[in-house]
Homo-oligomer: A and B are copies of this chain.
Amino acid sequence: MNIREVARLAKVSTATVSRTINGSDKVTAETKERVRRAIETLKFYPNTNARALGSGKSSMYGLIISDITNPFFPELVKSFEDVAVQQGQEVLIANTNYDKHRMEQCVARMLQRKVDGVAIMTSEMEEHLIDELSSRKIPLVFLDTGTPQKGISNIVIDYAAGIDVAVEHLRRLGHTSIGFISGPMDLTSARVRRKAFIESMKRKELKLEKDSIEEGNHRMDGGHEAMARLLGKEVRPTAVLTSNDMTAFGAMGAIYEKGMKIPRDISVVGFDDIAMSAFTQPALTTVRLSRAEIAKLALRALQDIQKSVTGQGVEYSIQPTLVERNSTGPTAA
C-alpha cells in the first residue's frame, strides 16, 4: 500500500497525489477530491519516513528533558506536544536521566532523526554535545542556562521577579519574619532562587532572621525536615517561602504535625505551581512558572531561528506570576 496505488485508483500520477497530500494549490479542486476519495477508500497513510527522506525535512522537533517523573516536566511535555501537533509537527522526547551516556544517546537520536530543532530543557548538558548539534545548524533553545549565540536561543526565567512577588504578597499580609526553604545547593536554579529571596528581603527592608533559611532537596521529605528545623528555632517565622511546590507540601506536613494550622498559624508559599498544588488542603498559594508558556516560547524560538536570515539566537524572558490560594493569610494579630 503506497502512493502509487492511490495514484492508480484516482487515475492521476503519484506527483499529484503527493501534491494534494501536501496541500499544494496547483491542483484542481476536483482532482484533489478524487485523490482524497482514493486515499479514503484505501485507508492510505503516507509513510513519514519516506516523506522525510524525500523532502529532507523531518517535521519533527526534539525535546530533551532530564526526567519525566519530575513533576515539573509532564506539563511541559504536554504543552510542547500540543502546540507542535497543532502545527503538524511531531515531537521526539528524550530523557537524559541525568546520565552522561544517556545524554549522548539523546543527542545521537536527534541527529539520526534529522530533527528540525531541539529544545533542551535540562541544565545538565555537555558542551561537546551541544557543538555536535549546533555545528550541524540545528536550531537550539535552552531553558534557564547559557546565552544566545548563532542558532541558539535561550529562555530565562525571571526568578527574582517571581520571588519578589511572593515576598511582597506576604509583606502585605503583615508578615515580617519570613523563612525560606531552598532546594539542593548543587542545583543552579535552586541557588538562584535562594539568592533572589535574600535580595528581595533586603530590598523590602525585611529583616532576615538568623537561621531563617534551610536547605531542602526539592522533594517532600526534604521540605518536611527543613520545616521541622525552622519550627524548632527560637524565632519562628510566621510565613515560609519554598523553592518548589514539593518542598511546600513537605513543609505543610511538618506544620500539621506540630498541631498548627495553615494559614492561621503560619503561611506557606510554593514555587512552580504543579498540578497538585490546587488540590492540597489548603490549596497552595504559589508562584506559577507556566509550563505552557515555556513550551510555546521554546517552539517559537526554534521557529524564529529557522526563519531568521542570520540565525542569530535571542533571549526570551518568562515572568512568573503569583497564584493566590489558601495557604497564605494575614498574621495573627
Chain B residues within 8 Å of A148, by CB? none
- Known pairs A49-B113, A50-B53, A69-B78; A254 contacts B281 (CB<8 A): yes
Say yes or no: is A74 at the interface (Cβ < 8 Å to chain B): yes
Chain B residues within 8 Å of A224, by CB? 279, 281
Say yes or no: is A143 at the interface (Cβ < 8 Å to chain B): no
Say yes or no: is A209 at the interface (Cβ < 8 Å to chain B): no
Say yes or no: is A259 at the interface (Cβ < 8 Å to chain B): yes
Chain B residues within 8 Å of A95, by CB? 78, 81
Interface hit among A24-32, A103-111, A188-196, A308-316:
A103-111
Residue-wise, chain A 40-83 has the 8 Å CB interface mask toward B (1 for contact) of: 00010111111011000010000000011101011101100100
Say yes or no: is A93 at the interface (Cβ < 8 Å to chain B): yes
Number of copies: 2
Count the A residues whose beta carbon is within 8 Å of the partner chain — how many?
49
Q: Can you list 9 A-B contacts (CB < 8 A)?
A: A48-B49, A49-B113, A74-B74, A78-B95, A78-B97, A219-B279, A220-B276, A253-B280, A254-B281
Chain A residues within 8 Å of B, Cβ to Cβ: 43, 45-50, 52-53, 58, 67-69, 71, 73-75, 77-78, 81, 85, 90, 93, 95, 97, 105, 108-109, 111-114, 132, 219-221, 224, 246, 250, 253-254, 256-257, 259, 275-276, 279-281
